[in-house]
Amino acid sequence: MARCLANNGHFFVSDATTLTSYHKTPIFVPQTNAKTECPANGIDNNMMKPRVRFAPSPTGALHIGGLRTALYNYLFARKHGGTFILRIEDTDQGRYVPGAEDYIIEALKWTGLVPDEGVGFGGQNGPYRQSDRKDTYQQYAHALVQSGHAYYAFDTPEALDAQRQSIDNFTYNHTTRDGLSNSLTLGDAASQQRVDAGEPFVIRLKVLPGREIHIQDLIRGSVVFQSSELDDKVLLKADGMPTYHLANIVDDHLMNITHVIRGEEWLPSTAHHVLLYEGFGWSDTMPQFAHLPLIMKPVGNGKLSKRDGAKFGMPVFPLNWKGETDEDSFEGFREAGFLPEAVVNFLALLGWHPGNDQEIFSMEALMEAFTIENIGKSGARFDFEKAKWFNQKYIQALDTEALAARVRPLVAAKGYRTNAEYLEKAVGLMQERATVLPDFVETGYYLFEPVKSYEADAVQKKWNAAMAPFMAELIQVLHDFEPFLTLPLEEMVKKIMQEKGLKPGDVMPLLRIALVGTMKGPAVFDTAVVLGRDETIQRLQTFLQYVVDLQ
The C-alpha atoms of residue 78 and residue 83 are separated, in whole angstroms, by: 7
Q: What is the DSSP string of 298-332?
A: TTSSSB--TTHHHHHTS--BSS-B--SSSTT-B-B
328 touches RNA by CB under 7 A:
no
Nearest distance from C-beta of residue 20 to RNA, angstroms: 27
Residue type, 356: N
One residue of 128, 172, 333, 463 binding RNA per CB under 7 A: 172
Binding flags for RNA, 362-381, as an x/- string (CB under 7 A): ------------x-xxxxxx
C-beta separation of 271 from 225 below 8 A: yes
Looking at beta carbons only, is 340 or 379 nearer to RNA? 379
Distances 382 to 318, 337, 386 between C-alpha atoms, Å: 14, 18, 9
Closest to RNA by CB, 325 vs 356, is 356
Q: Give long-range contacts, CB 8 A cutoff, 24+ apart: 411-418.
A: 411/440, 411/441, 411/448, 414/441, 414/445, 414/448, 416/441, 416/448, 416/449, 418/448
CA-CA distance, 286 to 131, in Å (whole number)? Answer: 23
Sorted by sequence, the CB contacts under 8 Å of residue 395 that are 6+ apart come out as 339, 342, 403, 431, 434, 435, 436, 437
CB of 200 to RNA, least distance (A): 6
- Name residue 212's beta-bridge partners: 226
> How do beta strands 259-263 and 295-296 pair?
unpaired
CB 41 within 8 A of CB 9: no
Minimum gap (Å) between residue 427 Cβ and RNA: 14
Does position 224 interact with RNA (CB under 7 A)? The reply is yes
Span of 42-50, 353-361, 448-456, 541-549 interacting with RNA by CB under 7 A: 353-361
| Binding positions for RNA, 294-313, rule CB under 7 A | 294, 296, 300-303
Binders of RNA among 258-287, rule CB under 7 A? 264-269
Residue 86: strand pairing partners = 54, 118
Kindly give, in sequence order, each residue whose CB lies less than 8 Å from that of residue 178, ignoring residues fewer than 6 positions away.
Answer: 184, 185
Among 355, 409, 450, 532, binds RNA (CB under 7 A): 355
Spatial contact of 106 and 74, defined as CB atoms under 8 Å apart:
no
- Binding residues among 152-171 for RNA as defined by CB under 7 A: 155-157, 160, 164, 169, 171
Using rule CB under 7 A, residue 195 touches RNA? no
Angle between helices 270-280 and 244-254 (to 10 degrees): 50
Site for RNA, residues 437 to 496, rule: CB under 7 A: none
Contacts (CB under 7 A) with RNA, residues 126-155: 155
Q: Which of residues 59-78 bind RNA (CB under 7 A)?
A: 59
The whole-angstrom separation of Cα 98 and Cα 103 is 10
Distances (CA, A) of 192 to 70, 148, 153: 42, 14, 11
Cα separation, 1 vs 215, whole angstroms: 9
Q: ∠ at Cα 214 (139, 242), nearest 5°?
A: 20
Only segment of 68-76, 90-98, 363-371, 401-409 that touches RNA (CB under 7 A): 90-98
* CA distance to 130, 341, 388, 405, per residue, from 394 (Å): 38, 7, 10, 14
Cis ω on the peptide bond leading into residue 483 (within 30° of 0)? yes
Instruction: Report the residue number, 111 or 182, with the smaller CB distance to RNA.
Output: 182
**Which of residues 38, 223, 405, 477 is near RNA by CB under 7 A?**
223
Residue from 116, 359, 455, 535 touching RNA (CB under 7 A): that is 359
Non-local (6+) Cβ contacts of 365 within 8 A are 358
Number of chain residues interacting with RNA (CB under 7 A): 84
Candidates 121-129, 405-413, 498-506, 536-544; binding stretch for RNA (CB under 7 A):
498-506
Catalytic option among 79, 109, 306, 386:
306
Of the candidate residues 71, 150, 234, 347, the single one contacting RNA (CB under 7 A): 234
Q: Of the listed pieces 230-238, 276-284, 325-333, 415-423, which binds RNA according to CB under 7 A?
A: 230-238
Give the nearer residue to RNA in terms of CB position, either 362 or 396. Answer: 396
Among 522, 528, 543, 547, binds RNA (CB under 7 A): 522
Q: Give the nearer residue to RNA in terms of CB position, either 389 or 448.
A: 389
The least distance separating RNA from the CB of residue 13, rounded to whole angstroms, comes to 25
| 415 lies in the site for RNA, by CB under 7 A | no
- Region binding RNA by CB under 7 A among candidate stretches 5-13, 252-260, 480-488, 504-512: 504-512
Which of 67, 104, 241, 471 is the binder for RNA (CB under 7 A)?
Answer: 241
306 catalytic? Reply is: yes
Is 505 near RNA (CB under 7 A)?
A: yes
Q: By CB under 7 A, tell whether 231 contacts RNA.
A: yes
Least Å distance, CB 232 to RNA, is 9
Angle at Cα 122 formed by Cα 116 and Cα 126, nearest 5°?
105
Gap between the Cα atoms of 522 and 514, Å rounded:
13
* Member of 51, 237, 425, 539 binding RNA (CB under 7 A): 237
The minimum distance between CB 325 and RNA, in angstroms, equals 20
Active site residues: 306
